[in-house]
């Protein structure tokens, strides 16, 4: 199927438009059907994907504004492939988890389908302007989801989320336009194609300023310290489905931007800024983990934990070796699966009790044993227990980062220790000891709807923890291609030396 990527991008949006005429009582079933088809298409793409090819595949290109080199240009490699599959999976499971009595269910389903279109578009687009359009459009449905279905201060959280990301995006747009101008100045033609930009030699000064412009957009989306303050508010006020998609997919747009734009286009500047990025990332890892330990709200613990894990991902990206870069992409998937499940689990207990405060529970393991088991598995994956999906990515990132900074790796590894402390403290307070409120004795365990959303994530967590090769292999091929391109394009000998290429034997 030649147009598989276009179908993946626009099918949810088309279905979203049709969703307006669907009966409100059938909206959830309709949403599940659409999201299932989208996931099957993504899995079909994986089945047809050449896992030995690290370059772009299934490319499509249609000129939109030829005078300025703007085109609809899409493609997929081992890095974007699995993020797209994860986005489709999380959207489907999130819709399944929605309560039947969710207010304005039709509007929620339509919003989620449009959001899915923008997310998939971001990860498949190879034209900078179209990428920017999808990037900005993703703000609209998420703003609406937080503002319409969120908590008491949802409007403040939604506006803060929008303003932070929008301002950063405007600065990023200046960088994108400047990059197109530099290409025109060098070659006499306009283009916004990333594949063309990868061939443009830039001076170190040009790279320096362009890196800062890209950094503004990507760092806020990650979010990196000190731009992270919008995230706890957004998570705290967002409905469960909003927190799930925000943590699992939207945050990955920032780290993906660094991988797709900053590293291959600006190799020298990326190396120059590496110490700065690593300092900020280490602060993210340690500082936000300590804040997570101080929280009393289960959802806030997981929110700050997300920031800490995103710091580990950034360390892997800027380790600039195959282990670090490949591990960071795998950790994007791992974090998406695990954090998505944890936010779902918090949503489950909140729906039953109306609170997320740990001290209000106690003894849940006896009252809700299946819930406690699922929570425990995902909690262990979050702290990187071997044989879970969380271990693979963190181990590779730390292995890659060790080649760059052994001392920094020791500091970064504290996320495993601190993470174990605050996650086990959460588990102990909530699931063991006496039941603190008599009304909690009657809490129902996970029902079929909740199990249908959570069991697939548990199975993936164990499967990719035990046998990650089907995913890790294609990711590694694409990561190595990016590193080779960086080394070939670097103009500074110091940059070439800093890019550590892992050699792997030919099959």
pLDDT of residue 505: 38
pLDDT over 80 (residue 494): no
* DSSP reduced 3-state for 387: coil
Query: What are the tens digits of pLDDT across the range 263-310?
Result: 999 999 999 999 999 999 999 888 888 888 888 888 889 988 888 889
Annotate 5-16 with b (16+ C-beta within 10 A) or e (fewer).
bbbbbebbbebb
pLDDT over 50 (residue 311): yes
pLDDT of residue 149: 87
Tell me, what DSSP letter sits at residue 246? I
Tell me, what DSSP letter sits at residue 357? B
Angle 414-431/369-382 helices, nearest 10 degrees? 170
Annotate 96-120 with b (16+ C-beta within 10 A) or e (fewer).
bbbeeebeebbbbbbbbbbbbbbbb
pLDDT of residue 359: 84
pTM of the model: 0.93
Distance from chain centroid for Cα 25: 32
The rounded distance, in Å, linking the Cα atoms of 282 and 317 is: 13
Segment of 235-239, 349-353, 451-455 carrying the highest mean pLDDT = 451-455
pLDDT over 80 (residue 375): yes
Give DSSP secondary structure letters for 172-207: HHHHHHHHHHHHHHHHSS---BHHHHTT----HHHH
Q: Are 315 and 282 in contact (CB under 8 A)?
A: yes
Record the tokens describing residue 285, joined without a space. 């890892």
Domain extents in the chain: 273-466
Residue percentage of the chain with pLDDT more than 70: 98
pLDDT of residue 344: 94
CB half-sphere exposure, 497, CA atoms < 13 A: 3
pLDDT of residue 254: 92
The rounded distance, in Å, linking the Cα atoms of 166 and 169 is: 5
The rounded distance, in Å, linking the Cα atoms of 412 and 309 is: 10
pLDDT of residue 503: 44
């Amino acid at each position: 199927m030649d147009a598989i990527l276009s179908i993946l991008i626009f099918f949810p949006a088309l279905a979203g438009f049709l969703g307006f005429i669907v009966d409100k009582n059938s909206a959830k079933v309709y949403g599940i059907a659409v999201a299932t088809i989208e996931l099957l298409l993504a899995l079909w793409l994986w089945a047809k994907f050449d896992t030995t090819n690290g370059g772009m595949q299934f490319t499509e290109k249609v000129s939109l504004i030829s005078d300025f080199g703007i085109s609809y240009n899409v493609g997929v490699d081992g890095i974007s492939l699995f993020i797209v599959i994860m986005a489709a999976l999380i959207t489907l499971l999130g819709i399944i988890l929605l309560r039947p009595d969710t207010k304005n269910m039709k509007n929620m389903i339509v919003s989620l389908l449009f959001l899915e279109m923008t997310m998939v578009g971001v990860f498949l687009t190879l034209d900078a302007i179209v990428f920017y359009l999808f990037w900005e459009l993703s703000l609209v449905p998420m703003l609406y989801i937080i503002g319409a279905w969120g908590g008491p201060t949802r409007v403040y959280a939604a506006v803060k989320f929008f303003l932070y990301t929008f301002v950063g995006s405007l600065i990023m747009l200046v960088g994108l336009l400047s990059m197109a101008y530099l290409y025109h100045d060098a070659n006499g033609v306009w283009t916004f194609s990333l594949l063309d930009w990868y061939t443009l030699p830039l001076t170190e000064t040009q790279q320096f300023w362009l890196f800062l412009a890209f950094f503004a957009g990507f760092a806020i989306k990650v979010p990196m310290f000190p731009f992270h303050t919008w995230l706890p508010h957004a998570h705290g006020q967002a409905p469960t489905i909003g927190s799930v998609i925000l943590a699992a997919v939207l945050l990955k747009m920032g780290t993906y931007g660094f991988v797709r734009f900053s590293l291959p286009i600006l190799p020298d500047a990326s190396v120059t800024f590496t110490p700065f990025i690593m300092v900020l990332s280490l602060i993210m890892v340690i500082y936000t983990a300590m804040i997570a330990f101080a929280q009393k709200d289960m959802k806030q613990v997981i929110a700050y934990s997300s920031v800490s894990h995103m710091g580990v991902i950034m360390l892997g990206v800027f380790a600039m070796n195959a282990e670090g870069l490949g591990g960071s992409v795998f950790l994007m998937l791992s974090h998406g699966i695990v954090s998505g499940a944890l936010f779902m689990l918090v949503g489950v207990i909140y729906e039953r009790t109306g609170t997320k405060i740990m001290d209000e529970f106690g003894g849940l393991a006896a009252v809700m044993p299946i819930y406690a088991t699922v929570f425990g598995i995902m909690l262990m994956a979050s702290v990187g227990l071997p044989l879970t999906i969380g271990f693979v990515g963190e181990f590779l990132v730390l292995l890659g980062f060790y080649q760059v900074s052994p001392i920094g790796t020791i500091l970064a590894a504290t996320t495993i220790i601190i993470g174990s402390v605050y996650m086990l403290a959460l588990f102990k307070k909530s699931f063991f000891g006496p039941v603190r409120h008599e009304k909690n004795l009657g809490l129902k365990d996970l029902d079929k709807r909740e199990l249908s959303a959570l069991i697939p994530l548990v199975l993936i967590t164990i499967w990719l923890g035990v046998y990650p090769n089907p995913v890790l292999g294609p990711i590694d091929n694409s990561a190595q291609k990016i590193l080779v391109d960086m080394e070939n394009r670097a103009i500074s000998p110091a940059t070439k030396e800093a890019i550590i290429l892992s050699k792997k034997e030919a099959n």
